[in-house]
């Protein structure tokens, strides 16, 4: 069994092209050879740079001398084509109005990578516009809308899927009750079949996970208690994660009477600034490590400066003595400019803070209780919170950069009312839409003589029959509880692998068929060490490479694909997106740095590193692309073309 090409490309394409999302076979592997094995100091030479693309995270698709992509330009969503030789724009076609309203992040532009199939290309806009265009001039051949035509429900950050072309079918995920996945005739846009949402679908089975080998891949549960049962939403059996009370119920945070105060946070911030009266204060900073992706000391280390006092290599786990333990750092400060300020510098992982308390030097209570005159800010919360001593904590304010995270185990001050990511955040845990679609793109596989489309939806990894759209099987554990599932599944040597972040992990599953022909997904292993967010994963020589971590940051991890064993992980390779060509991994970090890596089972081996010039303030989420001996890197409005051909 092998992964067949996911798009049937016409003769106009070339073997070295990158005609769709994650390359020719949707596995982020380029067939190219003869590329640089070591980058020179400063990186490979820049061939050309094209500006004026417009905003967006759409990666380029490259076919037959043309580069295709999507952007927001003004109030329009646009599909465009440029010359591969010099980056000059050949045509641009409006697809419909831009959709920035209510977007806590990702409002810069669309995320779909066009799918090129011979002389046509297929795109999906953020609002659900699905279109077939002529590659030569951008003329629209046909157009549908996932919301209007199929009852689709866009996910919180809108549609980001890249449509799959397979034979005469075009496959995508509206996420509606009657049309979770649809297959259209690629030539006409006519419906071939619809697969209903999981609640409404007939057939298919939920996988029965094997008992986990806890010495190898511990089951990390979200903050505040055990992993929920995916069908009912009730807590499943097994020991709770973290400390417990005397009655056996899970305690959210040890060492405090106010665990809710420590369950929200504002992570990844660059600074904190608050207008306060001049004077002397005692600053109290509240910390607790509540993210389940952090499993040991040294995984989240940062430095910060509080009004002139420097704190270096601050490790929450180490300071508190373990996870889910309250820790308060105190330092005296004197305010002379009516501003209390903290400046954070990420050293290893992104900083995170739970709450800040400023107690005036003159304020005191004889009984030792906290003075009411203190200024109290609860990071991550959207409403006021009253603690066990009756003191009021104000909602999240004053933070700069990063993202708000209201927490799982109970919101301090109530559930946030302004959507995921908070004020200008980058995808915190908030008021998400209830779409059945997520953000991943489907792949096509052949199993036991049957063609299937495999997709990671908001609730489960599923397989549907290519012939008629019947739901064949489902496996729930790869999907996180919030439906923020972005990473495209992998299929290698008969095994599927899918992963998600936000405290979840990744799973390898093998498809089986019983005597009656029913297909089921049998779990091979589950690993919390591969919490792949949206940077993608790659299998090379039975090693699985991918960044593990969510909004809090992360780093590259290498697993044994067959067993799930962690072979290595290295912070010198920060969280980012991956591609592979000619024996080398190409990593683009979310900060925009490019790293060339030699695959190895033993350790991280770097073969070059450089910084993209003129970085924007937006995260570098667009995946790198290798085609025709060139490395393509997009940063919103600009596209960079580097020569990576060996001389």
Residue 556's SS3 state is: strand
DSSP codes of every residue in 467-503: TT--EEEEE-TTS-TT----PPPEEETTEEEEEETTT
Q: Note whether 368 and 498 are same-domain residues.
A: no
What CATH number is given to the structural domain containing 75? 2.130.10.10
CA distance 23 to 443: 12
Q: How many Cβ atoms are within 10 Å of 546's Cβ, its own excluded?
A: 28
Cα-flanking dihedrals φ and ψ of residue 319, to 5°?
-65, -45
Q: Collect all residues with Cβ–Cβ distance below 8 Å to 517 and sequence separation of at least 6.
A: none
Boundary residue ending a domain (365, 388, 405): 405
Among 238, 312, 255, CA closest to 289? 255
Q: What pLDDT, on the 0 to 100 scale, is given for residue 252? A: 75
| Model confidence, pTM | 0.70
Report CA-CA distances (Å) from 226 to 165, 238, 244, 250. 40, 7, 11, 8
For 55, the token pair is 């905003």
Q: What pLDDT, on the 0 to 100 scale, is given for residue 552? A: 65
Q: How many Cβ atoms are within 10 Å of 279's Cβ, its own excluded?
A: 14
Note whether residue 530 is domain-resident: yes
Helix (H) or strand (E) holding 389: none
Query: For the CA atoms of 497, 147, 451, 197, what is the dihedral angle to 10 degrees?
Result: 70
Q: Note whether 327 and 462 are same-domain residues.
A: no
CA distance 4 to 454: 13
Q: What pLDDT, on the 0 to 100 scale, is given for residue 382? A: 55
CB 146 within 8 A of CB 124: yes
Note whether residue 13 is domain-resident: no
Q: What pLDDT, on the 0 to 100 scale, is given for residue 276? A: 86
Among 159, 131, 166, 160, CA closest to 145? 131
HEC secondary structure over 510-535: EEEECCCCCEEEEEEEEECCCCCCCC
Note whether residue 250 is domain-resident: no
Note whether residue 548 is domain-resident: yes
Residue 262's SS3 state is: helix
Q: Note whether 397 and 438 are same-domain residues.
A: no
CA distance 623 to 365: 56
Note whether residue 536 is domain-resident: yes
CA distance 42 to 124: 36
CA distance 110 to 127: 9
**CA atoms 68, 72, 77, 78: torsion sign:** negative
Q: What pLDDT, on the 0 to 100 scale, is given for residue 482? A: 78
DSSP codes of every residue in 104-164: SS-TT---PPPEEETTEEEEE-TTSEEEEEETTT--EEEEEEHHHHH-----TT-----PE
Q: Note whether 454 and 368 are same-domain residues.
A: no
Q: Note whether 147 and 198 are same-domain residues.
A: yes
CA distance 356 to 29: 47
Residue 318's SS3 state is: helix
CB 58 within 8 A of CB 639: no
Q: Note whether 481 and 630 are same-domain residues.
A: yes
Cα-flanking dihedrals φ and ψ of residue 317, to 5°?
-55, -50
Domains: count for the chain: 2
CB 628 within 8 A of CB 16: yes
Note whether residue 221 is domain-resident: no
CB 476 within 8 A of CB 229: no
CA distance 378 to 97: 38
Q: Collect all residues with Cβ–Cβ distance below 8 Å to 215 and sequence separation of at least 6.
A: none
Note whether residue 393 is domain-resident: yes
What CATH number is given to the structural domain containing 334? 2.60.120
Q: Cα–Cα–Cα angle for 35, 41, 44, nearest 5°? A: 35
CB 412 within 8 A of CB 260: yes
Q: Note whether 474 and 613 are same-domain residues.
A: yes
Tens digit of each residue's pLDDT (9 = 90 or more) over 202-260 = 444 333 333 333 233 323 222 222 222 323 222 222 222 333 333 333 347 899 988 87
Q: What pLDDT, on the 0 to 100 scale, is given for residue 433? A: 52
State the greatest distance between any 2 C-alpha atoms of the chain, in Å, as a whole number. Answer: 85
Residues of the chain under the 50 pLDDT cut: 1-11, 202-251, 347-349, 365, 402-432
Q: Note whether 542 and 633 are same-domain residues.
A: yes
Note whether residue 18 is domain-resident: no
CB 244 within 8 A of CB 318: no
Q: Note whether 437 and 400 are same-domain residues.
A: no
For 455, the token pair is 């997709």
Report CA-CA distances (Å) from 531 to 247, 332, 505. 32, 39, 4
Q: Note whether 444 and 494 are same-domain residues.
A: yes
Q: Note whether 609 and 506 are same-domain residues.
A: yes
Among 461, 555, 552, CA closest to 198? 461
Q: Collect all residues with Cβ–Cβ distance below 8 Å to 160 and sequence separation of at least 6.
A: 57, 110, 111, 112, 126, 439, 486
**By residue range, what is the domain housing residue 311?**
259-405
Q: Collect all residues with Cβ–Cβ distance below 8 Å to 53 and sequence separation of at least 6.
A: 69, 71, 80, 634, 636, 637, 638, 639
CA distance 84 to 74: 25
Q: What is the edge-to-edge ordering of all strands in the sheet holding 543-548?
A: 537-540, 543-548, 555-560, 566-574
Q: β-pairing, 450-456 with 443-447?
A: antiparallel
CB 412 within 8 A of CB 394: no
CA distance 293 to 130: 36
Q: Note whether 459 and 572 are same-domain residues.
A: yes
Residues in the chain: 647
Residue 350's SS3 state is: coil
CA distance 468 to 464: 8
CA distance 408 to 287: 16
């Amino acid at each position: 069994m092998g992964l067949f090409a996911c798009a049937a490309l016409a003769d106009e394409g070339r073997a070295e092209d990158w005609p769709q999302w994650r390359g020719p076979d949707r596995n982020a592997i380029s067939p190219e050879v003869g590329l640089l094995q070591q980058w020179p100091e400063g990186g490979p030479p820049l061939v050309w740079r094209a500006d004026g693309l417009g905003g967006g995270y759409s990666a380029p698709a490259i076919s037959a001398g043309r580069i295709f992509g999507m952007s927001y330009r003004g109030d329009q969503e646009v599909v465009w084509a440029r010359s591969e030789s010099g980056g000059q724009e050949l045509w641009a076609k409006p697809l419909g109005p831009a959709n920035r309203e209510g977007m806590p992040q990702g409002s810069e532009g669309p995320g779909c990578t066009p799918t090129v199939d011979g002389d046509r290309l297929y795109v999906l806009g953020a609002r659900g516009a699905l279109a077939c265009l002529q590659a030569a001039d951008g003329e629209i051949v046909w157009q549908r809308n996932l919301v209007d035509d199929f009852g689709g429900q866009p996910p919180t950050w809108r549609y980001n899927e890249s449509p799959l072309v397979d034979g005469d079918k075009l496959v995508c995920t509206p996420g509606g009750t009657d049309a979770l996945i649809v297959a259209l005739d690629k030539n006409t846009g006519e419906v071939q079949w619809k697969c209903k949402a999981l609640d409404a679908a007939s057939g298919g089975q939920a996988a029965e996970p094997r008992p986990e080998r806890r010495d190898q891949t511990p089951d990390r549960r979200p903050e505040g208690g055990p992993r929920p049962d995916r069908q009912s939403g009730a807590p499943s059996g097994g020991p709770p994660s973290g400390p417990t009370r005397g009655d056996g119920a899970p305690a959210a945070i040890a060492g405090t009477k106010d665990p809710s105060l420590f369950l929200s946070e504002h992570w990844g911030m660059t600074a904190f600034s608050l207008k306060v009266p001049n004077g002397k204060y005692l600053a109290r900073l509240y910390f607790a490590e509540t993210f389940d992706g952090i499993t040991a000391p040294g995984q989240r280390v940062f430095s910060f400066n509080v009004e002139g006092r420097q704190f270096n290599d601050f490790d929450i786990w180490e300071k508190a003595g373990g996870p889910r333990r309250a820790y308060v750092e105190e330092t005296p400060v004197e305010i002379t400019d009516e501003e209390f300020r903290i400046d954070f510098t990420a050293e290893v992982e992104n900083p995170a803070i739970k709450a800040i308390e400023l107690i005036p030097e003159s304020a005191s209570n004889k009984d030792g209780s906290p003075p009411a005159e203190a200024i109290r800010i609860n990071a991550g919360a959207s409403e006021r919170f009253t603690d066990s001593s009756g003191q009021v904590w104000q909602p999240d304010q004053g933070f700069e950069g990063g993202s708000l995270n209201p927490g799982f185990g109970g919101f301090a001050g109530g559930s946030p009312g302004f959507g995921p990511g908070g004020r200008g955040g980058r995808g915190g845990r908030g008021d998400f839409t209830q779409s059945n679609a997520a953000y991943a793109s489907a792949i096509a596989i052949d199993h036991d003589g049957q063609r299937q489309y495999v997709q990671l939806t908001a609730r489960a990894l599923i397989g549907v029959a290519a012939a008629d759209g019947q739901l064949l099987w489902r496996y729930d554990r790869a999907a996180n509880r919030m439906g923020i599932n972005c990473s495209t599944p992998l299929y290698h040597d008969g095994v599927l692998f899918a992963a998600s972040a936000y405290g979840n992990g990744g799973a390898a599953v093998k498809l089986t068929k019983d005597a009656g022909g029913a297909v089921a997904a049998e779990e091979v292993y589950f690993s919390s060490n591969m919490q792949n967010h949206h940077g993608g994963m790659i299998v090379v020589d039975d090693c699985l490479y991918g960044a593990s971590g969510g909004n809090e940051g992360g780093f590259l991890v290498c697993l044994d694909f067959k067993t799930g064993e962690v072979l290595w992980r290295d912070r010198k390779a920060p969280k980012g997106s991956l591609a592979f060509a000619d024996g080398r991994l190409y990593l683009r970090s979310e900060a925009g740095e490019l790293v060339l890596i030699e695959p190895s089972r033993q350790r991280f081996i770097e073969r070059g590193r450089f910084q993209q010039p003129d970085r924007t303030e937006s995260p570098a989420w667009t995946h790198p692309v290798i085609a025709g001996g060139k490395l393509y890197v997009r940063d919103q409005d600009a596209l960079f073309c580097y020569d990576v051909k060996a001389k």
